Amino acid sequence: MLLLYVPRGTFIEKIMQKTIKITLKGKVQGVFFRQFVKDSTDRLEIAGTVENLADGSVEVFATGEEGDLDKLVGYLEAGPPPAEVESVEREDLGEVEEFDGFQVLR
């Protein structure tokens, strides 16, 4: 077995990344859901954005390694205690979006 150390932010790491869009529906606004997303992405070192949409849903764009993105989706499916997540839509985007950290939008 060959193990390689790849420092975060290197070219090799960047080509292993992907960007996904996650749309969450249910009781996901007014329950500190965006902060929950931010805390989760900070732990996983995922970049992107989260924002409330006018239809009551929450939209997340996230760039990271696939395993970390899978963990994020699992966290978001459960949500923070006051939230009630009814559905989670995950869309793999073709291009990797570069974000400056993780931002909470409106």
The per-residue pLDDT for range 68-95, each reduced to its tens digit, is 999 999 999 999 999 999 999 999 998 8
Q: Count the domains in the chain.
A: 1
Q: Say yes or no to pLDDT of 1 above 60.
A: no
Sign of CA dihedral 90, 96, 100, 105: negative
pLDDT at 95: 87
Residue 106 lies in a domain: no
Note if 90 is an active site residue: no
* CATH number of residue 59's parent domain: 3.30.70.100
Per the CB < 8 A criterion, the answer to whether 106 and 98 are in contact is no
Confidence of residue 19 (pLDDT cuts 50, 70, 90): very high
Structural domain boundaries, residue 62: 11-93
From the list 34, 43, 90, 106, the catalytic residue is 34
Give the three-class secondary structure for 31.
coil
pTM score of the predicted model: 0.86
From the list 8, 43, 52, 90, the catalytic residue is 52
Count Cβ atoms below 10 Å from residue 20 Cβ, excluding itself: 21
Task: Convert 56-88 to b/e letters by CB count within 10 Å (16 or more is b).
Answer: ebbbbbbbbbeebbebbbebbeebbeebebeeb
Note if 43 is an active site residue: no
